[in-house]
Structure 1
Amino acid sequence: MSPAGERGPGWPWRPAGVLFDMDGVLTANNAFHRRAWQEVAAELLGLTLTEHDLDTKVDGGRNPEILERLTGQVPDDALLHTFHHAKEGRYRDLARGALREVAGLGGYLDALEARQIPYALVTSGDAVNVAFALEALGLEHCFTVRVLGEDVTRGKPDPEPFVLGAARLGLDPRTCLAHEDAVNGVRSAAAAGCRVVALSTTAPPEVLLEAGAEQCVPDFTGWPLWLL
């Protein structure tokens, strides 16, 4: 399937490294996260989250920044701890047994290995959720290089996560290809200097292109169109 809205020079392109977000990129699991946010925000914060709230304030970021966006206040440690464990536990309850890899992911990872192109995980998720997802997808031995939410002081849309991901591969982010599904994630990767091929598993293609993606695809089955 052809990528939507392709722009930018030099496609197909051989990146020095590839940086993958997890939620919505390795697996189309955003519906579980959204439902968990709605349920726990109602229970603990008394907030009713609309689809607009989920689109603009929740998708693509760490819990501390998301809570600040939702409430207008920096959460204290007690609230952050309580909310984090309640929300992520609810997410795992909803997602357990239902996670599947995004179409074409396995073949794409094989293609990167064959080309000796290193890759890393750059996610806002914590270690528990990362282990949960990778085990469910049978990818426990992949993504040995990782940047998790707790590894950064400024989460997406700040460029720090992708700058760190490239650094852990020993690369300049400007030589890396990034895959994201959320507006804040695309903004983070693009601000770091990465070229971005976004996945439309969470947000519409036109929104992701406006945020800074050069291409938008539904899944990884089209990788030969943009990877040499």
Structure 2
Amino acid sequence: MTLALLFDLDGTLLDSDPLHERVFRDLYAERGREIDAAYYLANIHGRHNPDIFSRDFPDADPHALSEEKEARFRERLPARVTPTAGLGALLDRAGDAGWPTALVTNAPRRNAETMLDAIGVRDRFPVVVIGDECTRAKPHPDPYLAALAALGTPPGRAIAFEDSPSGLRAARAAGVHVMGLRSSLGHEALLEAGAHDSIADFTDPALDRLLAALRADRPAR
């Protein structure tokens, strides 16, 4: 049976979180606040930029800060970046099998396009859903529901690949099977945030088992 594969971007298709963290640290330091890796993971990772800046800098314009942060990220992102291991093979497999794919991200559209270009897969995602362009961004399910509607796929025939608690909650609330990527968080933390299971990357044998189970229309666990 046909499956739909829904992908987050940062930390899922490429290891971009270290660069995001450095940019956030610089912005915060310039405004008199020092943050560390633990703060980034607990309070920033995967969250919506305006929500972050409204909370931490209530007297500033959160949208202006968000634009500044993302512009710095684009400037520092290399022109070519290695994608997460196994991504190309999985996208080839999806294409051969006729499985539709979509990108579902809280990144601004310019950033999403820049990152997709950097890892060489921009043409592999005919559907790109941007959190800012939905009624509500992740952790709400709206972006995933929009992707399912665009693909014409019921939630029970879709897999979402996510790495952050915000994204995991959004995908789980949309009713899809959620596979966590252990790029920043461990297996137990991903499960606690909403993942049904986790993989190290797209070469992990656990992914083959999940795909086989869902294609056979039987429980994946």
Q: Which has the higher contact order (CA 8 A, sep 6+)?
A: 1
Aligned to 2:20: 33
Amino acid corresponding to residue 203 of structure 2 in structure 1? T
- 1:61 to partner: Cα distance: 2.3
Question: Hey, what's the Cα distance between the residues in 2 that align with 1:226 and 1:29?
Answer: 26
Residue of 184, 209, 213 corresponding to 1:225: 209
**1:15 to partner: Cα distance:** 6.0
Say yes or no: does 1:199 pair with 2:189. Answer: no
Equivalence for 1:60: 46
| 1: CA distance, partners of 2:13 / 2:186 | 18
2:4 to 12, 17, 30: 17
Matched, 1:46 2:28: no
Aligned counterpart, 2:217: none
SS in 2 for 1:141: helix
Identity %: 34
Q: What TM-score do you get using the length of structure 1 for normalisation?
A: 0.85
Measure, in 1, the Cα distance between the counterparts of 2:45 and 2:6.
18
2:194 maps to a residue whose letter is G
Change (3 A) 1:52 1:120: same
**Contact persistence 1:162–1:173 (CA under 8 A):** no
Residues 200 and 15 of structure 1: is their aligned pair in 2 closer, same or farther, counting only changes over 3 Å? farther
Bigger Cα displacement from structure 2, 14-23 vs 112-121: 14-23
Per the alignment, residue 113 of structure 1 pairs with 95
Q: Name the aligned partner's letter for residue 112 of structure 1.
A: A
TM-score w.r.t. structure 2 length? 0.88
Q: Which residue identity is paired with 1:57?
A: N
- How far 1:46 moved relative to its partner? 2.8
CA RMSD, 1 decimal: 1.8
Partner of 2:70: 88
8 Å contact kept, 1:65–1:155: no
**2:102 is paired with a residue of what secondary structure?**
strand
Structure 1: 5+ residue stretches without partners:
1-13
Whether the aligned pair in 1 keeps the contact of 2:139 and 2:169 (CA below 8 Å) is yes
Deviates more, 1:181-190 or 1:153-162: 153-162
Q: Aligned partner of 1:34: which letter?
A: E
**CA–CA distance in 2 between the matches of 1:67 and 1:173?**
32
Structure 1 CA distance for aligned equivalents of residues 63 and 51 of structure 2:
13
Matched, 1:137 2:123: no
Letter in 2 for 1:61: R
Match of 2:155 in 1: 173
User: 23-32 vs 50-59, which deviates more?
Assistant: 50-59
Q: Which segments of 5 or more consecutive residues in structure 2 lack a partner in the other structure?
A: 213-221
User: Tell me, what secondary structure is at the counterpart of 1:164?
Assistant: helix
What per-residue deviation string (whole Å, max 9, x for no partner) do you get for residues 38-90 of structure 1? 111222x432223232112211122112223434x4x77xx233212221122
Opposite residue 164 of structure 1, the aligned amino acid is: A
